[in-house]
């Protein structure tokens, strides 16, 4: 993974009020640059708009590789990874890997400490509780409790911080022999509860995993840039949405307050919602989105078509009946047609990712020109008035599959 080469700092003028409490601790791998806003602490009350300065002030810490895990010539068996499909830190900086995707016989969870030393591994492929049929997502709470989404189990495996299987949490309606992951982009809530936040269309949901069946409710209704089609028939052509290029994604993460931070437009604007889902504050930066060109449209269309052509169907046991396979082929054909005829928004959204640390700092990655392989710069929102120092930065690690 790349070394962070420089940081840029935004001046800390506060136009309205602050943003909670915490300092930047860690964001993720591949960070190459960041921008920092320092805001004073304040409670979330009536909705306020905080206009952050446009200027970026660079700092340039040198970050060295802390540890490297995995290689074809690994001396320890636990370092023989096949395919890392999930990665997450707990509150003690232990790093958890979900190794093995789909129905690979090597599927497991591996945990290492902040120095890269082996702590434990648990979970395995299989049909029973705590055994993975098709592990598709990893979530880790602050105390180290682990949840693994398993689309072929139509539910979630929950493990204790010690790696012991606790229970299955089922989705309502039971499972099929083939399915898609039901709840992508789950985030652990940072309030000490066994809840998560997740996206469903243009809503953010609070998802309760504390019992034997998933319970959820809508927390936030985000802005929808494209109008919903409304009630649909069972005809395949009515089930495929119109494709739009550069549609602003709904990006979000959980805050220690019990609320969420989210972006739902093309602008640099982060909305902070309280635990009830009401937006109490909006952070803004005067950064203009890139105008979409014909070349960008062509690159995006080709990228979407490649993703669609590489899409696979996961199945277990006997193959679906011919009528189902015919339906799937028809749906895929309609999806490709929709991409070929896709429409485009006039601007590339400024924000590409939003993450929060366990103690409440926000790391907001900005987008780059479509087709670029370089990651975008990162704005770091420091809510407690401290300046960013080397001690606040992520340790750089490297993980390699066999």
Quick: pLDDT tens for 364-379.
999 999 988 888 888 8
- Domain annotation covers residue 1: no
Least confident window among 101-105, 159-163, 278-282, 322-326: 101-105
Which of 27-41, 232-246, 338-352 bottoms out in mean pLDDT, i.e. has the lowest? 27-41
Look at residue 126 and tell me if it is in a domain.
yes
What are phi and psi for residue 379, nearest 5 degrees?
A: -95, 130
Please name which of 124, 128, 166, 125 lies closest in space to residue 144, comparing C-alpha atoms: 166
Residue 224 has pLDDT above 50, yes or no: yes
Q: Is residue 302 part of a domain?
A: yes
Domain count, the chain: 1
* Strand blocks (E) in 171-238: 187-188, 195-200, 203-208, 215-221
- pLDDT of 75: 78
Residue 4 within any structural domain of the chain: no
pLDDT of residue 384: 52
CATH classification at residue 106: 2.130.10
What was the pLDDT predicted at 180? 46
Q: Please check whether residue 86 is in contact with residue 97, taking contact to mean a CB–CB distance below 8 angstroms.
A: yes
Residue 338, domain member (yes or no): yes
Query: What's residue 73's pLDDT?
Result: 75
Domain containing 133: what range?
10-225+236-399
Average pLDDT, the chain: 80
**Closest listed residue to residue 134, CA positions, set 110, 151, 155:** 151
Tokens of 98: 């979900």
- What's the pLDDT at 331? 87
Residue 5 lies in a domain: no
pLDDT digits (tens, 9 = 90+) for 380-390: 887 654 444 44
Stretch among 64-73, 172-181, 267-276 having the lowest mean pLDDT: 172-181
pLDDT at 207 over 90: yes
pLDDT at 233: 58
What pTM was computed for the model? Answer: 0.81
Whether 231 is in a domain gets the answer no
Q: pLDDT band for 151, please (50, 70, 90 cuts).
A: confident
């Amino acid at each position: 993974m790349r070394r962070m080469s420089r940081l840029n700092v935004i001046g800390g003028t506060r136009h309205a009020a602050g943003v909670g409490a915490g300092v930047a601790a860690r964001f993720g791998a591949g960070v190459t640059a960041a921008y920092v806003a320092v805001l004073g602490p304040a409670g979330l009350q009536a909705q306020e708009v905080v206009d952050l300065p446009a200027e970026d002030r660079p700092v340039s810490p040198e970050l060295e590789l802390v540890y490297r895990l995995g290689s074809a010539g690994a001396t320890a068996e636990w370092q023989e990874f096949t395919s890392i499909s999930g990665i997450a830190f707990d509150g003690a900086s232990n790093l958890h890997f979900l190794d093995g995707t789909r129905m690979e016989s090597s599927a497991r969870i591996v945990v290492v400490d902040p120095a890269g030393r082996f702590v434990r591994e648990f979970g395995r492929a299989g049909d029973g509780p705590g055994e993975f049929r098709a592990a598709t997502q990893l979530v880790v709470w602050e105390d180290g409790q682990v949840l693994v989404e398993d689309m072929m189990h139509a539910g979630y495996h929950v493990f204790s911080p010690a790696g012991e299987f606790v229970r299955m949490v089922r989705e309502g309606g039971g499972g099929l022999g083939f399915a898609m992951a039901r709840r992508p982009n789950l985030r652990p809530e940072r309030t000490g509860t066994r809840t998560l936040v997740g996206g469903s269309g243009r809503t953010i949901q609070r998802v309760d995993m504390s019992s034997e069946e998933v319970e959820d409710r809508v927390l936030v209704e985000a802005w929808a840039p494209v109008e919903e089609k409304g009630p649909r028939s069972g005809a395949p052509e009515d089930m495929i949405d119109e494709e739009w290029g550069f549609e602003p994604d709904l990006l979000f993460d959980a805050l220690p307050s019990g609320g969420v931070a989210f972006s739902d437009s093309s602008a640099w604007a982060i909305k902070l919602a309280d635990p009830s889902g009401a937006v109490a504050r909006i952070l803004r930066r005067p950064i203009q989105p890139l105008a979409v060109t014909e070349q960008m449209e062509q690159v995006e269309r080709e990228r979407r078509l490649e993703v669609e052509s590489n899409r696979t169907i996961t199945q277990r046991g006997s193959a679906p009946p011919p009528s189902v396979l015919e339906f799937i082929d028809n749906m895929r054909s309609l999806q490709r047609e929709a991409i070929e005829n896709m429409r485009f928004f006039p601007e590339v959204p400024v924000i590409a990712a939003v993450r929060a640390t366990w103690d409440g700092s926000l790391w907001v990655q900005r987008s780059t020109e479509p087709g670029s392989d370089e990651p975008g710069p990162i704005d770091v929102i420091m809510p407690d008035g401290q300046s960013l120092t080397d001690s606040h930065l992520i340790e750089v690690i490297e993980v390699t599959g066999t």
